[in-house]
Amino acid sequence: MLAMTLSPELDRNGAAFAFPVGDLISESLLDRRLRTATRRLLQAREHIFFDGDPKDHIYKVEKGAVCLYKTLPDGRRQIVDFAYPGDLIGLSTLENHVFSAQAIALTRLRCLPAGLLEEMAKNDPRVGVQLYRALSDQLLSAHDLLLTVGQRNATERLAALLMALSRRNDRGGADPARIALPMTRADIADFLSLTIETVSRTFTKLRQGGIIDLAHSSLVVIRDRRALGRLAAGEAERI
């Protein structure tokens, strides 16, 4: 998930709930089961499930990107997370989904019957840990977004998002200075709790400030990473 944390070094550096390292390298029952699980291919904008739907499966993103969101009755939408390859979607103890999930690009998923989780956790102790870790990552991610949406201004919010995506690239071996945005301006707006117009204006401001370049609307090139980081941390005066 998209942890927009201030402390990149805090990433996945150590587990207090640690099992022997060897176990984490070998494949767990969950991993193995997922490799052969049913695949599902989704076009951009196609839904995986809706808020309130019975939770018969959980999903793992293999390719593409998914947005998880909640809405108010009048249609206002808050994206609570973006799920990228490797992320698990739908973990919870409830019978029904508590948010909607929609592919934002061509996406491939693995589908796992929800009932199997319990069984696998019983047969392989590493599965429980894995699920616990996934959930706690998601909680961290939600708290980070909360800090962003609740306390940062428009520029700082966008900077935080770009820094998070940059770090994700870094971890995944991609160029941390070239950020592909699979999501639309509307998605970014609903994630950062801004309007499309404000997101667009803020991109322009970052570009004019020499902090980023916009190769095109969905490809950002970071020109001044330090400045972007300071903005995200709320340490910059203004731009």
Partner DNA sequence: CGAGTCGTTGATTCTTTTCAAAGCCCGTGG
Partner DNA sequence: CCACGGGCTTTGAAAAGAATCAACGACTCG
* Binding partner selected for residue 96 from its own copies, DNA, none, CB under the kind-specific 5 to 8 Å limit: its own copies
- Applying CB under 7 A, the span of 50-58, 89-97, 112-120, 188-196 interacting with DNA comes to 188-196
Burial 163-185 (b: 16+ CB within 10 A, else e): bbbbbbbeeeeeebeebebbbbb
Is residue 204 near DNA by the rule CB under 7 A?
yes
Q: Does 151 bind DNA (CB under 7 A)?
A: no
How far is 69 from 76, CA to CA, in rounded Å?
Answer: 10
Give the interface size with DNA as a residue count (CB under 7 A). Answer: 21
**C-beta separation of 163 from 153 below 8 A:** no
154 binds DNA (CB under 7 A): yes
Residues 205-234 that bind DNA (CB under 7 A): 214, 216-218
Interacting span for its own copies (CB under 8 A) from 21-29, 40-48, 141-149, 199-207: 141-149
CB 141: neighbour CB atoms within 10 A?
21
Contact residue for DNA among 71, 78, 169, 200 (CB under 7 A): 200
Residues comprising the chain, all counted: 239
For DNA, give the closer residue by CB, 135 or 196: 196
| Upper half-sphere CA count for residue 45 (Cβ side, 13 Å) | 2
